[in-house]
Amino acid sequence: MKKIYIHPLPVRIWHWTNAFGFVLLILTGLQIRYLDLFQWVSFKMAVDLHNWIGFVLIANFFIWLGFYLFTDKIKVYHPELSPTKYFKESFRQMQYYGYGIFRGEVNPHHPNAYRKFNPLQSMMYQIIMMMLVPAQFFTGLLLWDVARFSSIVEALGGVRVVDTIHVLLFIVFSGFIIVHVYLASLGHTPSAHFKAMITGYEEVEGDGHHG
Q: Quote the percentage of the chain above a pLDDT of 90.
A: 54
Q: Can you give the residue range of the structural domain that contains 36?
A: 2-204
* pLDDT of amino acid 210: 40
For residue 63, tell me if it sits in a domain.
yes
Q: What are phi and psi of 54, to 5 degrees?
A: -60, -45
β-partners of residue 2 are 204
Please state, in angstroms and rounded to a whole number, the distance separating the CA atoms of residues 44 and 47: 5
The verdict on residue 210 lying in a domain is no
Query: Does residue 193 sit in helix, strand or coil?
Result: helix
For residue range 167-192, list pLDDT tens digits in order.
999 999 999 999 999 988 888 888 98
Query: Could you give the CA distance from residue 52 to residue 60 in angstroms, rounded to a whole number?
Result: 12
Per the CB < 8 A criterion, the answer to whether 71 and 64 are in contact is: no
Question: What are residue 4's phi and psi, to 5 degrees?
Answer: -125, 145
Q: Residue 152 is part of a domain; what is its CATH number?
A: 1.20.950.20
Residue 211 included in any domain: no
Q: Does any domain span residue 119?
A: yes
Helix (H, G, I), strand (E, B) or coil at 206: coil
- If one counts the domains in the chain, the total is 1
Q: What is the mean pLDDT of the chain?
A: 89
Residue 20 lies in a domain: yes
pLDDT in tens, 37-64: 878 888 999 999 999 999 999 999 999 9
Give me the residues paired with residue 204 across strands. 2
**pLDDT tens-digit series, residues 2-22:** 888 989 898 999 999 999 999
Asked if residue 209 is part of any domain, the answer here is no
Please report whether residue 105 resides in a domain.
yes
C-alpha R_g of the chain: 19
- Sequence-distant (≥ 6) Cβ neighbours of residue 28 within 8 angstroms: 40, 41, 46, 47, 49, 50, 53
pLDDT digits (tens, 9 = 90+) for 145-161: 999 999 999 999 999 99
